[in-house]
Structures are given as C-alpha cells and as structure tokens.
Structure 1
Amino acid sequence: MGQFEDLFNLLSLENSYSGRGGTKKASLPVATSAVTLISHTHGRERREQRGIERRELQEAVKYGRKERANPGRDGQVRWRYTHKGVVYITDESSRHEITSWRLDDALDAPPAAVGPAGGGTAHVIVVVDHSGSMRKDDVPGYGSRTAAVYDCLARDLVEPQLKVVGGSRMEISLIEMQDEAEVVLCRSGASAELLGYLKRRSAGAVARSHGNYLPALDAALDLMREDAAQQKQLFLVFLSDGAPSDHIGMACPHGYNVWEAACSGGFHMSSRHGGGKSNLVNCPYSESGATGCRALVRMSVNEKCLGRIRTMGDLLGRDRVSVNTVAFGPAAEDFAVLQAMSKVLPRGSFQKLGLSANCLRTAFTSLTSNLTTLRTEAGGGGPGLTLRTDLRAKGQRQEYEEHHLITNGVTFDVYVGKKFIFKRQYDRHAGELVDAPFAATDQLRAYTAKHPDAEVGVAHGRNWFSEGAERVVFQCTEVVSVDGGATAYAVGPRLVAKQSRHEEQVFDPKFHRTFCRTQGEAAELAALFNRRLGLGPAWQVTFLSCYVYKIIDGYYAYSKGGQLEILVEEELEGKFTKWNNNAGGVGRHGQAFAASSAANNSVAAAPHRKANDNNAAALGAIAEDEEEDEEEEEEGRDDEEERDVNDAGPAAAGTDDVPQAFSHFTWDCTGGQKLVCDLQAA
C-alpha cells in the first residue's frame, strides 16, 4: 500500500480534470493578486475607458467561465473569460491581455462587493451543486432542484440577515459546482439587489454534467486565503444532491481511469453493469473488493475532500471556520462524505433533507440562526471567545448500567473524596445555588453502612461524545468508591456533563449560574402554563433539573487550583426534533425541525414533556419522560381528553401545538419581556 499512497499523494497535485474550453490542471490555490496579467497598450486603454480594474481581470482568469474565443488575425488561439459581467480576451497562455468589456444590463452581473477583499467581518461562502441531476423537477412547487435551492437561499438565508441589528458586516460569495467550479458572486453585501440577483439566478442558471467537490472546495479555499490576515468569521454552506463525482476523471495507481466508460483502442473492458450503464475501463492489476482500484480511487477523493476542510481550519483557525453541509436529494443517495466534511472542524452541521422545499427552508432557517449568532458575536454583541485546546478528542458513547464498576482513567475519570467539592442546584426563591442531595440517596446510605470508608462523588467521561454551539457533552454518573477512587460503582440515573468550548467561560462563575437561572425562570413559566391549560400530562411542559458539580482535576490547562465546575443533567435518549428556533422558524403538525446535534438536546420521548436548553439565551428544549405503569389509568383519561380535542375539527389543537402555544404564552404573560423558544423534543 505504500506505493499506492505515494501515487495518490502525487495525484492531489497532478491529476487533471476536463471542462469546457480545454483541460485544466488542479494546482495549489494562489491569491487573486498573484495571477499573472501582462497588459499591453491597446488592452490597457480599453480597460481604462470602460472602468475595469486590473483585479477584475485577475478574478476573471481565476474564477470565470473559460471558453474558446474567435482566433486572432494570424489564427492564434485566444481565450474568452466571462466573470461578474466582464468579458476578458487573452492569448493562448491566458497571461497577455488583449481586450475587455462589460456586458451592459447583463443578468449575470452580480451586485458590487462591499469593499477591498470584502471589508466585512463575517464571510458566507455558499457552494451550490449545479450537476445535471439538479435539473430534475421532483421538488413540488419548483421547476427544478436548482430553482428550489436559490429561492430558499434568498428567502431563508439572505433575507433574514438584512434585519440583523448590531451585528458584524457580512459578505456573501456564491460558487456553482459542476465539472469545475465557478465563483459567480464574490464578496457581495447582503442587500435587496442581492436578493434580486439570486431570484434571477434561479431562473437562468443551467445545471449540467457532474458535481465535482474538489474544484468547489479549492475555490472556497481560495476565497478564504484572502481572509487569512483579517479577523473574519468564515461560514461555509455546501449543498449537494449526491456524492462527489471527482473519481470519474481520476486514474488509479496503475494509470487506468477505471470509472470512465470504456471505448475501443486496446482498453481492458469490464462486464456491463446493471441498469443499462456503460462498460467501465478495467484495470488488469486491480484487486477485488474494498482494495480494488475503483474503491481506492473513491477513497482517495473522499480523503482529499476532508483534507481541504482540514486545510481551511489550519489556515484560518479551527474556531473561525464553520462548515455546514446540506444533503438535498433522494434518501437512497450516499451522503457519507458530506456528513464527514461537517465533522472535521469543531463548528459544523450536517442536514439530510430529502426532496422537500419545506425541509430545505427549515435547513436554511436553522443556518440563519447560527449565522445570526456568529454575526452578533463578531460585531460586538457577544464576546470574542477562544476555542479550548485542552479538550481530548471526540469519543464514542459508552454503554453502562447502574452498579457498573468503573475503573478510573480508562473511559471515565473518578472524582471522590477531596476531588469532589459539591453538588448544587439553583434555588429560584433564594436566587442562588444551594446544596443538593445525590440522586440515589437510599443506595448510597446502604453502601456507606456496609463500608464506612466509602466515598461518594462523580465519574466524568474522558472524551466528549457530542457538542453544541457553546458546550461539549460528556457522559457522567454519580458514584460510590471503597478504594479511594481507583474504582467506583455507578449509582443513580445516567447523566451528561456539559463544559464550555471556550477558555474564557471555563472558570467564569456566572456561566453555569446564568443557565440555571434562565432555566429556573422558564420552569416557573411552564408551571403557570400548565395550571392555565388545565389538561392532562400529555399537554404539560416541565423542565429538566440541572445541577452544578465542582471537582478538582489538575489536567485542565486553564484550571485555577485544579477546580472546575460542570453543568450536569439527566441523560435522555431518543430521536430529537426541533419545534421552533431563535430565528422565528416554526414546525407545525408533526413537521418539526430536525435537530442537527445531539448536544443541543438532553430530552426524551413520552407523554409528559420536559424541557431543557444548552444555550443560556434560549431557554429550553421540550423533552418527554415516560410515565410509571401505575399511572396507566391517568394516561387513558388523558388520551381520551386528547381524542376529544383532536376530533373537534380541522382547526382543533393537538399536543403537537403545545410547544408553539407555550412559546407564545411566555411572550404574552411577560408583556413581551421574555420568550422561551428553541424548543426541541424526542
């Protein structure tokens, strides 16, 4: 495999891909200002007369659509580049400027950039798949998948940003992905003109050929390189309806293009594939199965895609780049690469939507919420925070039961005796944290009666298993130890512990207390809502109890005396669904928002709703908890109650309406001072 790896590394620099107007070799991205441009008298005069800047021509060579132009008088080859409403004619080398002009009133001419290199502090780069499959008219209400994407992009991602007050400036770039990538919009400000441009693009853009990820990622990386020296936040949205197609034009380690259709001329032929597909070139040296040449080529493409994302993080800082991938295609498609791309850097999300415009709008609405938060922080509405470097790598969620024996330092760290300082809960009446008992008090009493030297405390997972915008999530359990913490027995319910992702908040005493206070206020509003509603458990809202534990561990680099506070809640399992969000999005009648991260919800599924939230500003995620068997009679009565209401007519309320009703109630009963939203349930 060593020589295969060397050949694949070489392919990352030398592999070529074909497009209109000739063959273009993939190479390391260069800055726009470094694109060679040799001006002559005629070309310079025409450019000055038409108000075309030198940088516009450099951008045209770098990003524009390239096609063969009419030959010169002596028959020499010339190239025509079209980019941002400018036509630029060069010689065969694409270095010598011959002439240029603007396309007056061209639909392709996007609004002007906001300034040199953008000039904003939040740069949104949107990559839209323009492969042939995006022409399909299988999205209800739209003539093509492309039309649906651009309409939702305009209405649900760009338009809400026009209403952001007090946030950073924002610039938007748009990359269309086909065999090659074209930057059709470069650093435009969010404006009404941009909305109009996107709507025109919806009608005029032509989807064709393959969707190659690598050229699009290279184009995005080119744009980001120009932001490297500036304090900007980068927000990448990568939307595709399928897996990358780059492998089709790539050679295997033995030099055979094993994914191309075979033709005459001495190529080895493979057998015809099912479904009427063409014969493919067959490498005579290929092994079978997962180690075969076709599999290796696809693996190489996948790794290169992830490598591009890693380069973005290395170049700009892992905490400055947010990679958000959107799968907008049939459920049977392979979206593994898209999902993996979203997980390379700490800030990322993956959403799999199917072919529904409503789901697409939901996805963009969710991204809008994240983008608004990013702009608010970058613009001074929130602190500039530093991503922690002392967190261990992401791990797998461990399966364990009560009374499970935990060994310190393996998958959990045990804190008992002097390493465990306190467990506290927020008291809404006292307005502060007060001591709280352990959950399994009776079991602990039995242990200590049998072992007088037994010590109680908590076991904290060594590796986090999920994350949200502000916190990383670890498994956690209360424990009792009889050997000083070398081993310990899990007691009580399974828990999750949440720590801040940022250095500045790790030892800020207000960080967890603010969360506990806001959750306490939300719990009071929920109790009032339940009393006013006066229906059974299926219609009620309660909030999960949260606790603050203080432990001592010298491992953490930012620790003061080794002391660390963690936020702990009960671990709840289920498939989480978002009912509304901070940007005003609302899911109705079972069509709720798909939660993008398990870290955003500590919730369960059952008739009795609970709520929680891992964002101190957004107060809760509705959760559901199972009723005990002895409450079957009460549940039956409640089911009857629900049927009576749901049978009242098409406008009658059902339990699916409870989250929206509760959010509205909190706004109404506080006179518009508070709104409990960002609710999610299992």
Structure 2
Amino acid sequence: MSFGSKKTSLITILSSEHGRLRREQRDIDKRDLQKALKHGTRERAWGQRWKVEYDGISFITDPSTRREVTAFPSPLPNVPTNMDMISESMKTKLLLEQRPDLATSHTVIVIDNSGSMLSKKNDIYLYRDSQNAAFSFTALEFVAEQIFNNTAVNSDLVSLIKFSDKPSVELKREPINWLVYNKILAHRNTEKFVDRKNAPYHDMIFGQSNFLPALKKARELLQEYHHDQLALSMYFFSDGQASDSNRIQQMKDVVSEMAEEFKETLTVNTVGLGNQYDDFTALLAIADAAKSAGAKGAFERCDHTANSISSSISSLVTSTTETRLALQEGRRKGYTQRTDLVSEKETSVKTNWEFFRIDEHFIYNPTSKKFQISSWLPLAVAFSPETKQRDEERKPNPPHLAINRNYLGKGAERVAFRCRLSELDNPHGFVLGEMIAKETKDIERFAEKRDFHEVSISTFQHCRAGFAQTQDFANYLAAQFNKHLHGIPSYSQTKTPQLRFLSCSVLMLADSAASGGYRAVLVEKKLDTERFQWTKWNDNNGMVDGERRHMHIDVDFELKQLQKEEAQDLGAIAEGDEDSEEESVSDVESMQDYEHEDAEVHQNPFQDINPSDYLQAFTHFTYRFTNKRVMVCDLQGVFNTDMVPPTIELTDPAIHYASSKGRRMVYGRTDKGKTGMNTFFKTHKCTKICKYLQLSARNKKWQNDWRQESARGMNFHT
C-alpha cells in the first residue's frame, strides 16, 4: 500500500528513544522515514506493527505508523536465475570433478550458526543480528563483488559450512556465480522475533559453538581434489562464544597441520563479531597458528560497524588472488624460500663476489635428449669475438666462476645472480663479459642441485622436459619464425626484428659449504636491462602486454576434450614416448583468429608495428608450424636495438603441448596443454604479422627437424 496520498510536511513523527538511537547508529536520517511514509510500501509486521520499506530501508512503526520502533536495511534481494545458468553451473561442477586441475582457487567459508549469533548481544549496525550480517556480507562482498570485478570466475570454487554444536556442509566446491550468491543468502536467519529472542536458550540445551569439528571439516574440504596450482582459503565467522574454548591447543594443532600441508598457498582469516569485552582467544589462536606454520593468517574484530567485515573479506580475496597468480606463474606449494637472498638494490655494495672452481660443464643434446659433458666455454660466451681470440691463442678455459652474493632478480622459481668467468680466484682474473647464474630460490630444491636443471648426479638420465630442452626447442621455432619473416612485405635484413632465445649451460662448481660438496648453476647471457626495458609480452595464462585477465573455463571445449580422450584407448604410455604425428592434434583455434583479411601493402607497412606484434604472432606461429601440437608462450626479455638486425632476446619460455595420448604437463608445470592454447586464443588478436605470414601451413617434419638442426648448430654428432 502506498503512502503517497499523505503530505510529508503534515506527518508528525513521534519517534521513540529506541527508534531515534537506532536511526542515528545506522546513519538513517529522520527524513528517510518521512520519505518512506510518503513513497514507500507497507505490510504487517509482528503484532500490530507495520513494516514500511523505501529505498532499501525497512522501518518498523507502531500501529499508528507515527511512532518509529526500529529501522534496518531491507534484506538483500536474490538475483533472477534461469535454466541456462543452472545448466552451465551443473556442467562446470561435472567438469571440475573430472578435471580438478582446472580449478584455480577454493575457499571454504565457515559461519557460526549458534543461538548467540541470533541474539542482539553482538548486533551489527544495519543488520538485525550477527548471523544475518555474516551471510549477507559473504554473499555481497565475497561473491557479488568478485563477479563484478572479475576476480572470481567459474574456475574459482567455494564451500560453505554452518556450525553450532555440529558442522553441516551446505555448499561443496560450487563455482562462484549468481546461483551461489542466492544459495548463501538463503541461509540467512528468517525466524520471527520471538524465535530469535529464544535462540540463546538453544545454546544452553545443545551447547555453544563447537569450533574443532568445524575446523576438521574445513580441512577435509580443502584436501579434496587438491592440486599444486590451487589457491586455498578458509574464512571463519563467529561471535567467539565457543563451548570448546578449553581445547584451543587442539584447534591450533588442526590449523597448524593444515598450514604445514598447504604452506603459503593457504590463507586463513577469522572474524570475531562482537565488542572488545568478548573473548576471541580461539579465533586469534586459529589465525596465529596458520601464520606460524607457513600459511597466511589474520584476525579481525567487528564491533558494530560492518566495515571490518568488508575489510577482512577484501583482504582474503586479495591474498587468494595473489596466491592464484603466483601459482599460475610457476610458484609451488610446500617449498620454503631461501632466507639468505639479498637483492643488489638493498645493498650499498653492488658486487660482492664469491669464487668457485668449475668441475664440469654440461649442455643439452636435443638428439639424445640428455645433458652431456662439454669442453666448450659456457654457451653464453662461447661464440663471442673474445672467445674466438682465446681459441686462436689456445688459451685454456677459465677455471673459476665468480658469483655475486647479492641477487639481480627473482622469478617464479629461480633467482638470478651476476657471474663472471675468471682465470684467478679474485677479480683480477676476470675475462669475457658478465653472465647470469640461475638457481632455485627454494630451500628444499636447493639441495637437489643438478636435478633442478634436469641432470642426474650419478648418470645422465633421459631429459623429458627440462628448462634447457624447452629453451632449445623455443629457439629452434624462433629461427623458423625468423626465416618466415623473409617473405613479409618490406622485409629488411638489417631492420626487421628477429627473435632469439638464450642458450644455457649447467656448471658444476666445487663448494665445500654446500651439501655434497658441489653447487650447480644454470648459466646464460646477461641481458642489458639497464639500457633496454625488461618486458613480459605474454604469459601462459592469457596475459598480453601486461593486461592480465582471469579467464573463465571454456566448459563446452573442455568437456569435448574429455570425450575425445575417453574415446581413445590410450593404454600404457611410456614416460619418454612422444606423440605420433599421424594421431589427432589440438584444434582450439577459432576461425576468426586465423582467417586472414587482405592486408593493404603500404610503402612502409611496419611503421606502426611494435615488438609485441611480432611476439604475439610468434606464439600463434608455433601453434600453426607444429600442426597445432605446440605453442610457445610466456615471452619475456628485452628488445635490443643495438644489434643488427634489432633482436628480441628472450628467456624462460613456457610450452603448451597438445598430447594425443592424454599426457599432461609434458613440458613442465607451466604446460597447460590444449587448455593453455585455448586460453591464448581467447585473448589473442591477430596482428599484421599473423596475416602476412598466412599461418595455415602444415609441416609434418617439424619434430625431427628441430632435434637435427639444433644438434648441428652445437656440433653434436648425430
């Protein structure tokens, strides 16, 4: 019923002291009630009272509608849904049960649902009780905000646990979408006033909140379908009234075990709904236990103002997003970063050299697919003019490698140091130029030494997909790309940019301070980042020129891939088997991506083409050149304009491999196979270079040609 027939100026509001206080606390102006009475709608509330709703605010008045009793925001509305949304959500859940590796994050939300959460004791302004606030803010801040901001897509999962004396799993690994928003809102308390008033007596009969079983259930959910690239979070709401507060050590043990298992990939946030006099010892202990065991942990107390809840949820989302990105870029869970690493930027002395005797030099042989001993200098300097002069003078290889104690840069897995070859064990013996020595930055992997670079300590094992093979293969494809550039309009032998990946070696160094008495480093050319800006042009997850998008899973595409794999009788796959060229290949490239418009040839068609155009085209080229089997991405390095022709020098690539035998991560953990290829084409826009190269030719000999050409370049006998 509308109150529009009444004039606001004639309405006399006889606000009760309670109503005035509530309005002031909730920042609801008296004029809001006047507007509500004029323009709002009303319905019967409990007893003889009326509820008047207008502009998102609900006013409770006495039977005369002239005396205000209380005021609060109207409940958050549900989002309209349809069968398409329901069907898509069901297909996504089905897919992620069969392909859990496609999930990028999993958050378990734990909400206290005991009687004390329904009482007025810990009231949150604008919400009639703490339980209502917890579910409302979870739906609004965690689900809706992430959908709006694209920080959560259908690869991000959420589970919901309600608990009082016992835990109850209400949502399990649901993809974040509007259906989940509605499902969370459905758990808000809708009891009548009398029932809510009597709610605390439920605790007296059945016991207060029992944290321990809820924590154990949360851990079970986080463990289920877990994989190494999954960012994990637990968000815990309670008013702190725990019946098991005397078992805090047991709670800490559960959380510590959880944190030790997942390390920095886990974020634990707890929120205490109450004032400074409430006992939040248990919630503090949970957060502290997570931090002490290697995860991220934080506690926030929400005293009346709901801003604390928003801040805590925002912090959780930010932490989970950062973890997800780090995992996508190659960080591993369960590894501890070395604490002895100090950046050059943090020290006053730029170089602080440490000298090591070189015991062995290994380079990767693509023909045998193994590392083997080489008598050459490291490939980073093997072909320089200075090296040629040393060969003519028959000088022996420098016996020492000097490594700066302070690092130059850090990546997802490796840390890079300046290094120099030296005739002596001091700087007076330096020869040739600066190079880069790379090591793992994780303590656990540091002990693995050569294995980090895919070299066995006792024997040279078959190298399935090590760093050196990946970089060697990428360099071969770059050389093929450079050859194809000869056919584009206005090609210039001195001006058209060329692509080149750095060659690398593994040096075994005598180091008495290291485990086993040796230290292994991967050595490559030092790029001139002081003169040329270091740039990451794309990555293995759809990023282009620094613009990163959190990509939705293409559910239909992935389900079709599963059907194809199930239709094939794969049988046992030997570890080293390569896929046959005659077998089926990936087909993720849409027609609009490679159909080539007629490009108008200007006198200088490359005046508006930047290095990124070549590099995005190169990634596309690798896919077409290898018959849709391979895609090289994660392109990073410098554009060296001092070289002739100008050269884009690259390092640390990633390769997606579309295995016809169903193998995954053939080229390491950054290899996302057909899924990674599909993600590239979602963000790729064909450049002029793509169109000029007519990326459509088939090449059945690419696999054999790579190994033979690369081996000839290194003078290996095949």
Instruction: Tell me the TM-score normalised to structure 2 length.
Output: 0.32
Instruction: Tell me the TM-score normalised to structure 1 length.
Output: 0.34
Which has the larger Rg?
A: 2
